[in-house]
Structure 1
């Protein structure tokens, strides 16, 4: 068996690793560390999240530091504040016995003045998010002349978040003689271009297959009607009493709303997203790591860098726009060799996305059924039974009360006592799930085409897909587009489905029964003095158009980009059956 000692690391690092309880390297560490200890070759490492990439680049970097030089020798770029702090914490733990090593985290949302002070004290390693580091570079408050190693961690996500120009600017300020190490979970073309631009004959290492998921993760999906998603979410959570999970949504608004609804419904939940201050985010993450929070609701961006042990489930309340993001989401579970489950709650028209993810990951998803009320009650009951069976009894503390307890139960037989005790919780769930409806939706083969082979005819389900000659070049985002569509047509947001925003044009969906109203509304519509045109999105020659005549060369390819939707959802209808609006009890984790 390979050990850290056999990889060639120095004694102070080995002692730090031993204190952390690491016994043997992960595959990415075992293969990358010997190469990186050479110190003079560019490197590309591809491995899934949770496989130990931080130690794979962090240990060789620390091994080769000159602690006497009080200038940055290593620069690590990462996409988010959470990941920045996580890497910094790991490196500080690794370097515990190295001597006077100063590792400084530079990220937005915190005092730049304090970060500047930390840098002036002499930092050998700087861990930074691109935006904040550019601010510091512009202040001429950092000297990169001694940088020997530039490391891009989660490179694919940094590019997805639009940091390519920032990365170019930062790397252009570093010496040409530096060595560049790039680590990523996936290898899209944008990452490949960066490697070609900034690297010379890099050593490329892939642990597992490119763009594939962690082998220890099981993938499941539940097909429900859109209106039943929240009820299905709660039922899945209730069916897994010991769940410790992250729920992913598309937008900050949806993240906050779902978290608040879960809290009102008695679940130990909270949200993390970009609108929170750094202090708020740190507080939420501290509670989640301590398991004071059982369910964390998060956006993709906010969840990057969440390295929390023993996450049992990742739940995709909405599937992401990109397959790569699904890989990153699911990687929040099954970390450090553990197993986990990634769940997607989808409607029938999302099945094409599932197939596309399956093809990319090379793994088959299991179609699961949302459990019925009886199954949930049974699961909760036996979870309680197991807890009672395994509870640790504090003999000294309970001894003074045993006599009174025994007197209280003296008239009951063992069987009667067990029934009454179990019924305390079971009755509440039984009442809550009485007459609970079947939440499973039937798959419609017509809906499978969505996202499959990238094509789709005009009508599916109860929605119709329309083309509009407005896009991101008109300074519109999906929320702006939704507001414009509602204002122009007089429709409520729940009548409008997905918005697929492109450059000079976009696609949007409306319910079939309002198509005529929409086309009539756009016959004379304008945007910033320009005539607006809409058309049916279809492959045939027959198209219905409004406000501008026919369009014979309009795009008719369906792509996977569901968009934010923009619609504010309400989760106030939390009760699955009549007779109440509150959940059965406050859950404790």
Structure 2
């Protein structure tokens, strides 16, 4: 059996791992650590979320850096605030007590002044999101000339989020790096391009098949009509009374609306979407981690970087537009060797996309019958009985109440008492599911031609309004800094934005129609570095042609 000691880690690190209970390395750790400890080889590691990638690159970093030199020597770039905080916390946890390594997490949505002060005190490793890191570079608050090791974690996620230009800018700043380590769950062509351009004959290791899903995850789907999607979701939740999971929707409107409906019906649930402030987001995530919430509803953008242990189910209320996103969704469950279930609610018109996902992840999905009302009631009943039988009665002073209870129930048979207990617990379910319809699509059923999806708040992926603005790379912007600028000016959240196309003199912004007017009012006519900003609807004149230059 392979041990951490056999991988070449120092005694201090081994002691830290023993303290936190790490015994046997995971496959990605076993294969990556000996290579990375050399410190001079570029590396590409392909492994799914939850396979121990942070320790795979974190432990070599902690061993390689010079603890006596209090300046940034290693840089870890990741897509989201949550992942940034998680990685920095893990590195602090792995760090030996005697030779403490100082780690700084820098990310947007919080005070940049405090982060600058932390950097000035001296740190060994910087964990950063691309946008905030570029902001710090441009303010000359961080210098990367002593960075020897660069890690790109969740590289495919960063490219999906449009950070390609920002990553390339950052890599050009790390001119003295000894090696670059790239970790990703999938291997799209963009990752290959970054590898070819910035890496020298990288060692490539894949744990499992590329784009394959975690073998501990059971992939299921439920086939139903459009109009029954929400009711199917409720059946799935009720049929799994011990569920602790994430429900994914495509839009924040869906996430919010479904959350409101489920809360009204008594479920412990909340939403995570782009309209939340950072404080609200942190509060929701704290409640979810504490299991005060049984379910979290989230959009793909809002859920990026979430790492919560013990999630039993992921439910795809709708399949993602981008099939590769499914890998990231399903990877929220079945982590650290545990089993999990990934469920997709699918309509007949979406079966083709389901088949595409099956090919991508090289896994056959199991079609499941939507539970009947009787099935749900039976499952809930036996779940309650198990809880009743396993209830801990050792700590309370229940004996003091027994005489009163015996007197109260003296004239009642045991069967009647049990029936009354069951009625209190199950009256809502029994009444709701008494005449429940069959939501399954049978072989003979066909959907009417021209049926349109009636999902709450749904809009097509291409239904953005396009804005023109006479600002571009010549004004000193990179994509991340430009994104931050227009969001700061407008007070909008980035979830309302689609693609941003930047040119030298001009830029084009895709934005949800309901937010377009607010952005135009916030920017049009304002001044930037002595130049008047002009912003308008790109498709109604003023910025129609991509080749048109601003005045």
Task: Give the CA deviation at 1:418.
Answer: 2.0
Cα distance in 1 for residues equivalent to 2:260 and 2:112: 32
Conserved 8 A contact 1:80-1:301: no
Task: Give the CA deviation at 1:53.
Answer: 0.6
Task: Give the CA deviation at 1:178.
Answer: 2.8
CA deviation profile, 1:192-250 (whole Å, cap 9, x unmatched): 10111110000000000011110111111111222221111111100000000001111
Task: Give the CA deviation at 1:395.
Answer: 4.9
Cα distance in 1 for residues equivalent to 2:445 and 2:227: 20
Q: Is 1:528 the equivalent of 2:540?
A: yes
Residue matched to 1:419: 419
Give the 5 Å matches for 1:113-262.
113-262=113-262
Q: Is 1:54 the equivalent of 2:54?
A: yes
Task: Give the CA deviation at 1:460.
Answer: 5.3
Q: Name the CA shift for 1:369/1:283 in 2 (closer, same or farther; >3 Å).
A: same
Task: Give the CA deviation at 1:472.
Answer: 7.4
Task: Give the CA deviation at 1:502.
Answer: 13
Task: Give the CA deviation at 1:419.
Answer: 2.4
Task: Give the CA deviation at 1:304.
Answer: 1.9
Conserved 8 A contact 2:145-2:176: no
Give the 5 Å matches for 1:262-411.
262-411=262-411
Conserved 8 A contact 2:149-2:177: no
Task: Give the CA deviation at 1:414.
Answer: 2.5
Residue matched to 1:462: 451
Task: Give the CA deviation at 1:474.
Answer: 4.8
CA deviation profile, 1:251-284 (whole Å, cap 9, x unmatched): 2222222222221211111111233222222221
Conserved 8 A contact 1:244-1:312: yes
Conserved 8 A contact 2:146-2:176: no
Cα distance in 1 for residues equivalent to 2:408 and 2:464: 71
Residue matched to 1:12: 12
Conserved 8 A contact 2:313-2:333: yes
Task: Give the CA deviation at 1:177.
Answer: 3.7
Give the 5 Å matches for 1:53-132.
53-132=53-132
Gaps of 5+ in 1: 448-458, 477-499, 507-525, 533-589
Cα distance in 1 for residues equivalent to 2:207 and 2:421: 51
Q: Name the CA shift for 1:11/1:132 in 2 (closer, same or farther; >3 Å).
A: same
Cα distance in 1 for residues equivalent to 2:105 and 2:402: 54
Q: Name the CA shift for 1:446/1:192 in 2 (closer, same or farther; >3 Å).
A: farther
Cα distance in 1 for residues equivalent to 2:443 and 2:132: 47
CA deviation profile, 1:295-325 (whole Å, cap 9, x unmatched): 0111112212211111000000111111211
RMSD, matched Cα: 2.6
Q: So what's the TM-score if we normalise by structure 2?
A: 0.81
Q: Name the CA shift for 1:66/1:52 in 2 (closer, same or farther; >3 Å).
A: same
Cα distance in 1 for residues equivalent to 2:253 and 2:201: 45
Q: So what's the TM-score if we normalise by structure 1?
A: 0.76
Residue matched to 1:587: none
Q: Name the CA shift for 1:54/1:444 in 2 (closer, same or farther; >3 Å).
A: farther
425-434 vs 235-244, which moves further: 425-434
Cα distance in 2 for residues equivalent to 1:437 and 1:502: 46
* SS of aligned partner of 1:344: strand
Gaps of 5+ in 2: 454-459, 469-497, 502-507, 511-537, 545-551
Residue matched to 1:521: none
Q: Name the CA shift for 1:273/1:359 in 2 (closer, same or farther; >3 Å).
A: same
Cα distance in 2 for residues equivalent to 1:257 and 1:422: 32
Conserved 8 A contact 2:148-2:176: no
Cα distance in 2 for residues equivalent to 1:68 and 1:325: 42
Conserved 8 A contact 2:39-2:178: no
Conserved 8 A contact 1:348-1:443: no
CA deviation profile, 1:484-536 (whole Å, cap 9, x unmatched): xxxxxxxxxxxxxxxx99999x9xxxxxxxxxxxxxxxxxxx95269x9xxxx
Task: Give the CA deviation at 1:96.
Answer: 4.4
Q: Name the CA shift for 1:116/1:217 in 2 (closer, same or farther; >3 Å).
A: same
Conserved 8 A contact 1:15-1:97: no
Cα distance in 2 for residues equivalent to 1:396 and 1:262: 34
Cα distance in 2 for residues equivalent to 1:529 and 1:444: 51
* SS of aligned partner of 2:173: coil
Q: Name the CA shift for 1:443/1:358 in 2 (closer, same or farther; >3 Å).
A: farther
Task: Give the CA deviation at 1:389.
Answer: 0.8
Q: How many pairs are equivalent?
A: 473
Give the 5 Å matches for 1:36-51.
36-51=36-51
Cα distance in 2 for residues equivalent to 1:410 and 1:23: 56
368-377 vs 95-104, which moves further: 95-104
* SS of aligned partner of 1:314: strand
Task: Give the CA deviation at 1:413.
Answer: 2.6
Task: Give the CA deviation at 1:434.
Answer: 1.5
CA deviation profile, 1:138-197 (whole Å, cap 9, x unmatched): 100001111110000000010000000010111111124431000000000001101111
Cα distance in 2 for residues equivalent to 1:471 and 1:221: 28
Give the 5 Å matches for 1:404-553.
404-442=404-442, 461-462=450-451, 474-475=466-467, 528=540
Cα distance in 2 for residues equivalent to 1:216 and 1:310: 13
Q: Name the CA shift for 1:253/1:98 in 2 (closer, same or farther; >3 Å).
A: farther
Task: Give the CA deviation at 1:425.
Answer: 1.5
